[in-house]
Amino acid sequence: MTSFLALPQIDRLIDLALEEDLGAGDVTTQALISPDLQGEAHIRAKEKLVVAGLPVAARVFAKLAPEVQFAPQVQEGQEVEPGTVLAILTGPVATILTGERVAVNFLQHLSGIATFTQKMVAPVAYLPVALVDTRKTTPGWRVLEKYAVRLGGGRNHRGGLFDGVLIKNNHLTAVGSITEAVRRARKSAPHTLKIEVEVTSLAELEEALGIGADIILLDNMSDADLAKAADLTLGRALLEASGSMTLERLPQVAATRVNFISVGALTHSAPAADIHLRLLKTWS
């Protein structure tokens, strides 16, 4: 089973989703479906997509009733064509119908992110640059959304405020200068953490290089300035380009020789994938 499912926040998220949807109970299914009725259902892709979230969907049904058998038919991260069966479920029909919406919601959202990420990665896949996500994630969903980014071929930026120093414009306003901010970070942060600084001009870039920042985030710079930044840096720090990244612009940004391109849209704007569950047969 996928290792991230052992994280307590995943169980909390699934529990919250089930609580939200079920409330005091599935009144429609309870009124119509005998608890003894058994059946088979298929979860199917209705469009071309990159699969993400099958272990989460399986967990949804396992929480409702361990008798439900969830059999994946494809691999996580696999690109599939419209009509592909992603999973086959057998067991109590009432449980399958009760868990349907929550399970498919997880699959649609995560597969949507994986599919959108693959689309964004494609124009730069063979260039020496990595497409990375950001912390612009749905509250509570970050571990899952970043997992989906990886399945789509992207890479993860820091997971939270705890695993990397990123000095942004508001920090700089509070502290007064890049030099002082980096100095304080070097003094207080664990030595194992790299220090990244956000800059908006070539002058700020030079200050960040002078104080020895490990990574420099070039925020909302033109392609011409990104290229100049690479010329000025000469490998002294890693460079991350950010801001106003579109599918069409990515090859031009990659050509400026930055090391990373961060795209918040990978998690905050990916459209949901079209996936459905259909009950095919029943028996008593």
Average pLDDT of the segment spanning 257-275: 98
Hey, which residues are catalytic here? 101, 136, 168, 198, 219
Average pLDDT of the segment spanning 196-219: 98
- Does the pLDDT of residue 148 top 90, yes or no? yes
| pLDDT number for residue 110 | 98
| pLDDT number for residue 277 | 98
pLDDT digits over 17-73, tens only? 999 999 999 999 999 999 999 999 999 999 999 999 999 999 999 999 999 999 999
Contact 189, 162 (CB under 8 A): no
| pLDDT number for residue 5 | 72
Average pLDDT of the segment spanning 134-161: 97
Give the model's confidence band at 2: pLDDT under 50 very low, under 70 low, under 90 confident, else very high: low
Average pLDDT of the segment spanning 105-113: 98
